[in-house]
Chains A and B, each alone.
Chain A
Amino acid sequence: MSKIIVSDKSIAVPGETLATGMDILPGAGTYREGEKIVANRLGLAMVDGRTIKLLPLAGRYIPKTGDTIICKVIDVSFSGWRLDTNSAYSAMMSMKDATSEFIQRGANLTQYYDLGDYVVCKIVNVTSQKLIDVSMKGPGLRKLKGGRTIEVDPNKVPRIIGKQGSMVTMIKDATRCSITVGQNGLVWILGDPMSELLAIEAIKKIEKESHLSGLTDKIKEFLEKSIKH
């Protein structure tokens, strides 16, 4: 006799029984304990037919191959740069992946990227020991000049971007800022100071209310109201 106990889009707590029965499948963030499907983390339960998964609501960034992230240069070595990825692990960017320019042997690498610079880069490879290789070769990958970076919960990044970038485009249009969102939870914003602040406020609002429905309309309303004032 199988039974789904948890309701769709409700919050599940570690150890909570989500369903019983062998014909229901445990998805991400859950595990099977005998007949039961049990929550393995704090998350939003998603019931999809016969599978149950948990969408994470919190947690640090875990580096994944193919992610576009915003990093800070923390060290410069002979052969490249070490970057802070806003996770437990730092990334290495080698000279050959850094720029299409020719770099002379023995050149001072700080003239390309100096300590404290922020860059948009892409993760090329992550090993089992979480050694990360990143590259700057690709569309939109660049050094960030000016503006400001804020930190958001990396689990909320998909909501900040929205479907096909709808949410971030809305904020960009309303505030006339350029915004770049890194999958690692760093967001870079450039515009005039007051609009930058408004964009930050909107992003913080999305972060806080990301698990609720009708978010796009709420943010739209918020932006319209704030701009009128």
Chain B
Amino acid sequence: MTYKQRIDNRGFDETRPIEAKVGVIARADGSAVFKIGNTWAYAAVYGPRNLHPKFLQDPQKGILRCNYNMMPFSSSGERVRPGGSRRSKEISLVTEKALLPVLDLDEYPNSVVDVFIELPQTEAGSRCAGICAASMALADAGLDMKDLVSAVSFGRVDDKLLVDLDYSEESYADGPVADIPIAMMPNSGKVTLLQMDGEVSKEDLMNLLEKAKKVCMDIYEVQRNALREKYHEVEE
């Protein structure tokens, strides 16, 4: 059986409904929520602030520290055990690497910017949602950044190329699946994160990258509007 139509009747190039809001956590220096379908990511930014232990300090520039955390009953599967895991550590690291190229922390030697990403509910694409939320929160915190970072997952299910896989598609069992999260600076088109799980041909990957670029631009629009909305709300 081939995969003819997406389970939730979306188009193959269509993402799940996206919702974004900035300034959702009062005590944070910057915060944002990014919801894509049933995957929700909250990001809170604290800093630049004093960094301890001292050996972590960099006298050249400030450092970025990301923390990705899925809440205990956030996924449809087993309860996620609280605290760090091998997976969350990896995602924290790639999130950090995906965000660093846009950030300019030269003004803040020996300090740290902390980013906490919390996921109250997830259904695939959580690292991408986390990166989108984190980049909005960093902008909201007033840090110097060249661009926002927009992220989406894409891939193939059977012989179809699609954007923003949900859980049922990621775990499709009747054919080969590839799940490829990508993060990019939408205005310059530079890629800051590219991972892959599964198999895909070179031509398909190139086609998918083109599609992902377009989708990232759309996500950038959503992020931009959310950032503006925070200040326009006050006017009304």
Contact = CB atoms under 8 A, between A and B. Distances in A.
Interface of A: 11, 13-17, 29, 31, 33, 38, 40-42, 56-60, 62, 87-90, 128-130, 155, 208-209, 211-212
Given A15-B146, A58-B30, A129-B110, A42 B187 contact: no
B195 to A, nearest CB: 23
A212 B231 CA distance: 9
Given A14-B102, A38-B146, A129-B110, A90 B50 contact: yes
Contact of B228 (A11, A31, A209): A11
Interface stretch (B64-72, B117-125, B137-145, B172-180): B137-145
A13 B142 contact: no
Contacts of A88: 47-51, 62, 108, 110-111
B171 to A, nearest CB: 35
A15 B223 CA distance: 11
Contact of A59 (B143, B185, B187): B143
Interface residues of B, number: 39
Given A42-B139, A208-B234, A60 B47 contact: yes
Interface in B57-81: 59, 62
Nearest to A62: B107
Contact of A13 (B108, B109, B227): B227
A14 B148 contact: yes
Contacts of B47: 60, 88
Contacts of A211: 231, 234
Given A14-B147, A57-B142, A60-B142, A42 B227 contact: yes
Interface of B: 29-30, 47-51, 59, 62, 102, 104, 107-111, 139-148, 185-188, 220, 223-224, 227-228, 231-232, 234-235
Contacts of B62: 88
A90 B227 CA distance: 31
9 contacts: A11-B232, A13-B223, A14-B139, A16-B224, A56-B142, A60-B142, A129-B109, A129-B110, A130-B110
A40 B190 CA distance: 16
B140 A60 contact: no
A16 B107 CA distance: 22
A198 B47 CA distance: 30
Q: Which 5 A-B pairs have the closest CB atoms?
A: A59-B142, A15-B147, A58-B142, A88-B111, A88-B48
A74 to B, nearest CB: 11
A59 B231 contact: no
Given A62-B107, A128-B109, A17 B142 contact: no
A71 to B, nearest CB: 14
Contacts of A11: 227-228, 231-232
Given A13-B224, A88-B49, A41 B234 contact: no
B10 to A, nearest CB: 27
A15 B220 contact: yes
Given A14-B139, A60-B29, A88-B111, A31 B224 contact: no
Contact of B231 (A33, A38, A57, A62): A57
A98 B143 CA distance: 33
Nearest to B59: A129
Contacts of B29: 58-60
A33 B185 CA distance: 14
Given A17-B187, A88-B62, A89-B50, 18 more contacts: A11-B228, A13-B224, A14-B102, A14-B145, A14-B147, A15-B148, A29-B144, A41-B139, A41-B143, A57-B231, A58-B142, A59-B143, A60-B49, A62-B107, A87-B48, A88-B48, A89-B110, A209-B234
